[in-house]
Chains A and B, each alone.
Chain A
Amino acid sequence: MIRSKYLPVLTTLAIFVAAYVACVLQFPNMLSTRVIGNLLTDNAFLGIAAVGMTFVILSGGIDLSIGSVIAFTGIFLAVSMDTLGLHPIVAFVLALLIATVFGGVMGAIIHYLKMPAFIVTLAGMFFARGMAFLISTQSVPVSHPFYNELQSLYFRLPGGGRLTFVGMVMLAVFIGGALVAQRTRFGTNVYALGGNMQSAELMGVPVARTTIGIYALSGFLAGLSGIVFSLYTSAGYSLAAVGVELDAIAAVVIGGTLLTGGSGFVAGTFLGILIQGLIQTYIVFDGTLSSWWTKIVIGLLLFAFIALQRGILWMSERRRADWRGVGAPA
């Protein structure tokens, strides 16, 4: 029997495979490494941010600040290179540092002030967006030879597709994220917090350290996502990446992670990203559909997944009730 904890992620995999097969049947050209390469490149920034979101949601929290942090990072990079003349690597390190500290501070507020993550990161969202505007309200283009070098870096796939640098970064982040989630004490602690905060504390999980770590990681990955976005667009703009946090949440949930925390996989989020990308690619191939269809299909998929998770929960509770029925009334 398949364990119920793998059921959502396997469902996502089945949906992805079925959707891809359906796409290929209609547009045989979609079965090419070019499409796959573009899919990875186009969704790299969203995928990286979604890995951070996966950790946050696994722990039972939420991070609404991601899109703003991406925009802030983008404008920060553009201005620090363009106006201040910093080398990109220096700017990258600074941006990652700021984003990580920003996330860590939000985590500390959530833990020590016992505030709901929703409120704290909502405040963080406004704050980071505001800071982005403070730096510049204009779209600032980036032109640096190092940028051109990174942008032209790619790995040629058989069949002519290109695995670009940003695509590789995303794949590396997913692999690293999966390793951290499944094979480190920190990862287990994240699941523990999402399972039951009080039990986790009683079992000796360092709640403060873990909570701060989770939001710092999410901040770091949002910063990295901002760098990738900057490489992808060659510009920084304060109004960029509005609502990316919601796309990331959608990818996480479609990937089978329980919104209440404690159950799910980083690999599932990868599938969630691919499904979103696949729908967009399909719309491009079709040419007549409005891009809003992406949103409609994502909305329907979200509904389906929330219903699926409820169903699984309900079934496992009923199974447990059957066991308990023997001793009642006690």
Chain B
Amino acid sequence: MLQSSPVLQARGIEKSFLGVRALDRVDLTIRAGEVHALLGENGAGKSTLIKIITGAYRRDAGDILLDGEAIDPRDVKHAQALGIGTVYQEVNLLPNLSVAENLFLGRQPRRFGLVRTGEMHRRSRELLADYGLSIDVAAPLGSFSVAIRQIIAIARAVDLSGKVLVLDEPTASLDTAEVEMLFDVIRKLKSRGLGIVFITHFLDQVFRVADTVTVLRNGRLIDSRPVAGLTRRTVISLMLGRELAEEERRAGTAAEPDASADAAFRFTGYGRRGRIAPFDLSVGRGEVVGIAGLLGSGRTETAELLFGIEPADSGTAEIDGKPAALTSPRAAIAAGFGFCPEDRKVDGIVDDLSVRENIALALQARRGWAKPLSRREQVELADRYIKALDIRTASRETPIKFLSGGNQQKALLARWLATDPKLLILDEPTRGIDVGAHAEIIRLIETLRQDGMSLVVISSELEELVVYASRVAVLSDRVHVAELTGEDVTPDGILNAIAAAHGTASVEAA
């Protein structure tokens, strides 16, 4: 590949949020005329890095160089003026204004203080002609499809900035033909010498348009290399990770293979149209079943289905051989289920409530509001779990938002453990928490399993998953494509299963 000069260089970028490190000395080099794919799972630091480059966040440390000169984007507008434009998945334009007004907002051509509408429309048509669009520029933006709006957003960003274009998951809501249209635009811009950063979780698209791939994981730069010569499997293994800290490895012991002898929870042909294809899953007493797959493969959808957040429309659920109707989270909780969701900030913790109140929440919900837990019971409960799980908090009355990610996660776990669940579903329990807490969570999962609890754990950390899971269901494109047992439960085995699925399902993903 021709090595053109770097147009944008980020070096040693660091950023922390409330003591949690989101980016740890990350480098990124974008060359003129290249499409640079930025990959990583949720929470890997992609969006934080992009927001720093585009001025939405300020970095804690590191340098950003544009054309070799150090820059310090204060805000989005400043970054734009410097030459870095961004287009987000949710198009950030104004649907109530006309196409032309969107393109020229804030820089409309004027004469005597009045906007020259005709001139603005003419220039808009010229601008869009470069992108192969011939549309009525006086019509409101909202009357066009998402793909057209996406291209208009790109046209605006390029016209304003013209050096680096950041595309944040631009294809997430487009269909195949629209993606093709967008890729034509990207290739055209590439030939004009723009540096293009492309964030996506569709691997096939990476191989179709990108020249270079940079992979982030847990806020760290994993690798950056040309796409030519890379295989899908290599990229997946870079994203999901192959190394696990020694301490974490020691935290868990290998799961006993005979644990699945009697399946306490059995789901047959369980599925919901548009969310996840029907699957079979059984979890034995004292067994941990892992769920693996790339972002968007249907991991969280599976968990939400099991917990009744999105009730199943096909298949049956059995608990100890008896059919169960899991039509709502309430029903699932009554049946002895617990669920720690993926995004604990949004779905899990109640920010302003104390640690005590957060822990007591699920138990209280199960008892119903007519039978309140007394203050004394709540205190006992909270103290017991703060001690048992070693939740580090100033006091049990501290609002939970002041705790670190790992301790919030432990408080959430405590919330469900307090209800004494028979089946606990954990969605990414170790995401975004530091290494020490990581090992503790793994140890805790192991303890719960030995105590006879059934667990379903979703994780993108394969090395971690194989430590505690005796079986692993592998997902791809919202289908359970494989279930690995016994000897096959290794990081390599899981990677192979994911990569195999991606090879066959590539048409759909595009």
Query: Is A202 touching B94 in the complex (CB atoms < 8 A)?
Result: no
Query: Is B140 touching A5 in the complex (CB atoms < 8 A)?
Result: yes
Among B114, B142, B146, B176, the residue within 8 A (CB) of A184 is B114
Decide if A161 is an interface residue (CB 8 Å cutoff): no
Contact residues of B between 99 and 115, Cβ < 8 Å to A: 101-102, 105-106, 108, 110, 113-115
Residues A330 and B175 in contact in the complex (CB < 8 Å), given A3-B139, A184-B115: yes
Residues in B with CB closer than 8 Å to A188 are 97, 101, 105, 108, 115
Query: Is B94 touching A200 in the complex (CB atoms < 8 A)?
Result: yes
Interface string of A298-330 (1 = CB under 8 A from B): 000000000000000000100010011011111
**How many chain-A residues does the 8 Å CB contact rule pick out?**
32
Q: Report the bound CA distance from A179 to B112 in whole Å.
A: 12
Q: Report the bound CA distance from A253 to B78 in whole Å.
A: 38
Q: Report the bound CA distance from A185 to B108 in whole Å.
A: 7
Q: Report the bound CA distance from A194 to B94 in whole Å.
A: 9
Residues in B with CB closer than 8 Å to A192 are 94, 97, 105
Query: Is B97 touching A202 in the complex (CB atoms < 8 A)?
Result: no
Query: Is B173 touching A262 in the complex (CB atoms < 8 A)?
Result: no
Interface string of A173-215 (1 = CB under 8 A from B): 0000001000111001101101110111011110000000000
The residue on A at minimum CB distance from B76 is: A202
Residues in B with CB closer than 8 Å to A184 are 113-115
Residues in B with CB closer than 8 Å to A230 are none
Decide if B77 is an interface residue (CB 8 Å cutoff): yes
Query: Is B96 touching A263 in the complex (CB atoms < 8 A)?
Result: yes
Residues in B with CB closer than 8 Å to A194 are 96
Between-chain CB contacts (< 8 Å), 7 pairs: A5-B140, A185-B108, A185-B110, A189-B106, A192-B94, A199-B92, A327-B178
Q: A148 → chain B, closest Cβ, in Å? A: 36
Among B97, B175, B274, B478, the residue within 8 A (CB) of A327 is B175
Residues in A with CB closer than 8 Å to B127 are none
Residues in B with CB closer than 8 Å to A263 are 96
Query: Is A204 touching B175 in the complex (CB atoms < 8 A)?
Result: no
Query: Is A195 touching B174 in the complex (CB atoms < 8 A)?
Result: no
- Sort chain B's interface into a size bin: 20 to 34
Q: B76 → chain A, closest Cβ, in Å? A: 6
Decide if B117 is an interface residue (CB 8 Å cutoff): yes
Among A198, A204, A320, A328, the residue within 8 A (CB) of B105 is A204
Residues in B with CB closer than 8 Å to A324 are 146, 173
Chain A contacts to B: CB under 8 angstroms = 3-5, 179, 183-185, 188-189, 191-192, 194-196, 198-200, 202-205, 262-263, 316, 320, 323-324, 326-330
The residue on A at minimum CB distance from B102 is: A203
Residues in A with CB closer than 8 Å to B101 are 188, 191
Chain B contacts to A: CB under 8 angstroms = 76-77, 80, 92-97, 101-102, 105-106, 108, 110, 113-115, 117, 139-140, 142-143, 145-146, 172-176, 178, 274-275, 478
Q: Report the bound CA distance from A188 to B105 in whole Å.
A: 8
Residues in B with CB closer than 8 Å to A196 are 94-95
The residue on B at minimum CB distance from A199 is: B92
Residues A195 and B94 in contact in the complex (CB < 8 Å), given A184-B114, A329-B275: yes
Interchain residue pairs A-B with the least CB separation, the first 6: A327-B175, A195-B96, A262-B96, A195-B94, A329-B274, A183-B114
Residues in B with CB closer than 8 Å to A5 are 96, 140
Query: Is A198 touching B92 in the complex (CB atoms < 8 A)?
Result: yes
Query: Is B105 touching A203 in the complex (CB atoms < 8 A)?
Result: yes
The residue on B at minimum CB distance from A185 is: B108
Query: Is A203 touching B92 in the complex (CB atoms < 8 A)?
Result: yes
Q: Report the bound CA distance from A324 to B147 in whole Å.
A: 10
Q: Report the bound CA distance from A205 to B97 in whole Å.
A: 13
